[in-house]
């Protein structure tokens, strides 16, 4: 596996400009990464079309959004449910995964048996449903977008079956300390772990492949017309952060989506071999609806200050620093927060987080406890734990990443790239100079 960190992207954009369209394949949530892409597209005068994942009704049927739900949408939308995954798909024995999980007991999860052939039937049905919906989605895009280039931005990640015992086990894997600690390897090596991972792969990775296939006709037509169609997907595979005087790759563990993200990377590599402009952008850790369950994932975000301070005289950086400093308790400084992260990362128990070849790492008790403890400690250094530095820093990261992604396609051909804190810093400062 080769590590391809992006160091710079050209500022000129021939591909994406007024007349071109950004299509979000997934739904836009407040604070989510896709907001950065939307901002970058609007800055260029592009059109933005949002997808929806649909909603489950009382009988767990997948339905489009209702009128009142669509009122909240800020941009143009296509209301075809793009939910991925198979937990509600009934197999030939009349049961879906959620039915099977009803029998699951917390004390007996290790001996829970999973009928792989029936799960496979549900998985195939889930894929067929998503494929049909994606085809209809693409047909609607074709109608609505008769000219200009298109960037399909795949946002999807998730797939946790919402079952009480599953949620409780996952909570122990990502937050469990002391007796509550549960080894992610133990869970992942079990039949239950296998099925959760299959659903993660369906949502996070196979949905991307289905998008490439469902849009193939549209892509062919557009290419014949000399129009460009590109595909971006958000990956996570660790981030380079600047700590203790150097840029170092590190990661969060246990990142349970990691195996699905590796598959996503492979799918992008295969697509590039077929001449499709598809790239997975491995982005830094930020705080969003999806990542907030992983306590400690935000710790590498604080050292972004080490990069931002390199542009310390820039008015944007000075303003941001003032805002962030105000969020801390009196007497606490930003440098102390960053130093605390650096000291934690220097501990031997956290060394596994720096081993690129071993990614995705499973959790280890001491490692998880240290990460959660520093995360708690930094939260307590805030004036109000509901108003965190990570909100401001996440905004900076997602805005910079959105810019990088739109500029990338005309200059690079790589299927998998990494955006580290160095590029986030230079990009945000360049943007704020405009
Ligand atoms: N937050 C981070 O630290 C981080 C870091 C690197 C990459 N990413 C990636 O960025 C992307 C956007 O995530 P985000 O963190 O901004 O959070 P988010 O909650 O804003 O976005 C999650 C997306 O996944 C979609 N989704 C969830 N369940 C789905 C399902 N069953 N079927 C289809 N779609 C589903 C949602 O509609 C939404 O578009 C994800 O691929 C995520 O893995 C996030």
Q: Is the pLDDT of residue 396 over 80?
A: yes
Sequence-distant contacts of 110-117: CB under 8 A, at least 24 apart: 110/186, 110/190, 112/190, 112/191, 112/192, 113/191, 114/191, 114/192, 114/194, 114/195, 115/91, 116/194
Q: What is the pLDDT of residue 290?
A: 82
Distance of alpha carbon 239 from alpha carbon 224, whole angstroms: 38
Which of 22, 30, 33, 75 maximizes ligand 1 atoms within 8 Å of its Cβ, making it the mutation to test the pocket?
33
Q: Is the pLDDT of residue 11 over 80?
A: no
Q: Is the pLDDT of residue 1 over 80?
A: no
pLDDT tens-digit map of 319-356 = 999 999 999 999 999 999 999 999 999 999 999 999 99
CATH of 5-290+395-433 among 3.40.50.1100, 3.20.20.70, 3.40.50.300, 3.40.50.720: 3.40.50.720
> Is the Cβ–Cβ distance between 126 and 84 less than 8 Å?
yes
Tell me which DSSP letter residue 88 carries.
T
Q: Is the pLDDT of residue 360 over 90?
A: yes
C-beta of 162 in contact with ligand 1 (< 6 A): no
Which of ligand 1's atoms lies nearest the C-alpha of 159? Answer: 31
Which of ligand 1's atoms lies nearest the C-alpha of 34? Answer: 16
pLDDT tens-digit map of 120-131 = 999 999 999 999
Q: Is the pLDDT of residue 162 over 90?
A: yes
Query: What is the pLDDT confidence band of residue 315, given thresholds at 50, 70 and 90?
Result: very high
pLDDT tens-digit map of 249-268 = 999 999 999 999 999 999 99
Distance 235 CA to ligand 1 centre (A): 10
Q: What is the pLDDT of residue 230?
A: 98
pLDDT tens-digit map of 58-74 = 999 999 999 999 998 99
**Segment 313-320 mean pLDDT:** 96
Report which protein residue has its CA nearest ligand 1's atom 26.
Answer: 156
- Pick the closest to residue 196 from 109, 265, 129, 283 (CA basis): 109
Q: What is the pLDDT of residue 347?
A: 96
Count CB-CB contacts under 10 A for residue 132.
13
Q: What is the pLDDT of residue 14?
A: 80
**Segment 37-54 mean pLDDT:** 97
Q: Is the pLDDT of residue 220 over 80?
A: yes
Backbone angles phi, psi at 36, to 5 degrees: -70, -40
Q: What is the pLDDT of residue 293?
A: 83
Count CB-CB contacts under 10 A for residue 385.
11
Report which protein residue has its CA nearest ligand 1's atom 20.
Answer: 32
- The answer, yes or no, to whether the previous bond of 371 is cis (omega within 30 of 0) is no
Distance 27 CA to ligand 1 centre (A): 9
Which of ligand 1's atoms lies nearest the C-alpha of 154? Answer: 41
Which of 83, 85, 158, 401 maximizes ligand 1 atoms within 8 Å of its Cβ, making it the mutation to test the pocket?
158
Tokens matching residue 388 = 């965190």
Q: Is the pLDDT of residue 110 over 80?
A: yes
- Pick the closest to residue 212 from 121, 291, 146, 280 (CA basis): 280
Q: What is the pLDDT of residue 13?
A: 75
Distance 339 CA to ligand 1 centre (A): 30
Q: Strand, helix or coil at 276?
A: coil
Domain extents in the chain: 5-290+395-433
pLDDT tens-digit map of 12-27 = 778 899 999 999 999 9
Q: What is the pLDDT of residue 157?
A: 97
- The answer, yes or no, to whether the previous bond of 360 is cis (omega within 30 of 0) is yes
Q: Is the pLDDT of residue 313 over 80?
A: yes
Percent of the chain predicted with pLDDT > 90 = 95
Distance 166 CA to ligand 1 centre (A): 20
Tokens matching residue 313 = 């005289």
Per-position DSSP letters for 212-246, written without gaps between them = HHHTHHHHHHHHHTT--EEEEEEE-S-EEEEETTE
Identify the helix (H) or strand (E) that includes residue 208.
helix 207-214
Distance of alpha carbon 329 from alpha carbon 41, whole angstroms: 37
C-beta of 159 in contact with ligand 1 (< 6 A): yes
**Segment 264-288 mean pLDDT:** 97
């Amino acid at each position: 596996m080769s590590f391809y960190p992006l160091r710079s992207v050209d500022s000129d954009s021939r591909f994406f400009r007024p007349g071109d369209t950004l299509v979000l394949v997934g739904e836009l949530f407040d604070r989510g990464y896709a907001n950065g892409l939307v901002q970058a597209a609007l800055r260029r005068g592009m059109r933005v079309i949002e997808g929806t994942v649909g909603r489950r009704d009382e009988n767990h049927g997948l339905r489009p959004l209702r009128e009142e739900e669509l009122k909240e949408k800020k941009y143009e939308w296509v209301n075809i449910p793009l939910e991925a995954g198979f937990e509600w798909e009934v197999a030939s024995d009349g049961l879906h995964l959620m039915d099977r999980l009803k029998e699951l007991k917390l004390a007996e999860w290790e001996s829970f048996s999973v009928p792989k052939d029936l799960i496979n039937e549900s998985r195939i049905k889930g894929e067929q449903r998503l494929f049909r919906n994606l085809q209809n989605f693409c047909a609607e895009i074709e109608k609505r977008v008769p000219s200009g280039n298109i960037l399909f931005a795949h946002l999807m990640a998730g797939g946790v079956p919402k079952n009480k015992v599953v949620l409780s086990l996952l909570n122990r894997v990502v937050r469990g300390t002391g007796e509550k600690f549960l080894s992610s390897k133990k869970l992942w090596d079990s039949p239950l772990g296998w099925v959760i991972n299959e659903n993660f792969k369906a949502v996070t990775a196979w949905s991307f492949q289905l998008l490439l296939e469902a849009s193939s006709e549209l892509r062919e037509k557009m290419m014949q017309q000399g129009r460009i169609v590109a595909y971006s997907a958000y990956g996570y595979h660790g981030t380079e952060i600047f700590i203790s005087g150097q840029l170092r790759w590190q990661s969060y563990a246990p990142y349970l989506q990691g195996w699905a993200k590796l598959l996503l990377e492979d799918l992008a590599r295969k697509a590039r071999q077929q001449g499709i402009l598809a790239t997975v952008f491995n982005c830094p850790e930020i705080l969003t609806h999806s990542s907030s369950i992983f306590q400690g994932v935000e710790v590498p975000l604080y050292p972004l200050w080490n990069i931002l301070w390199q542009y310390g005289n820039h008015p944007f950086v000075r303003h941001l620093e003032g805002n962030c400093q105000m969020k801390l308790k009196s007497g606490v400084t930003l440098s102390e927060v960053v130093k605390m992260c650096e000291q934690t990362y220097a501990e031997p128990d956290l060394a596994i987080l720096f081993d690129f070849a071993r990614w995705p790492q499973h959790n280890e008790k001491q490692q998880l406890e240290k990460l959660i403890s520093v995360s708690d400690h930094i939260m307590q250094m805030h004036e109000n734990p509901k108003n965190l530095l990570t909100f401001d820093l996440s905004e900076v990261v997602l805005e910079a990443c959105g810019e990088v992604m739109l500029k990338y396609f005309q200059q690079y051909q790589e299927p998998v790239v990494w955006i580290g804190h160095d590029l986030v810093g230079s990009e945000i400062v360049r943007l704020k100079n405009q």
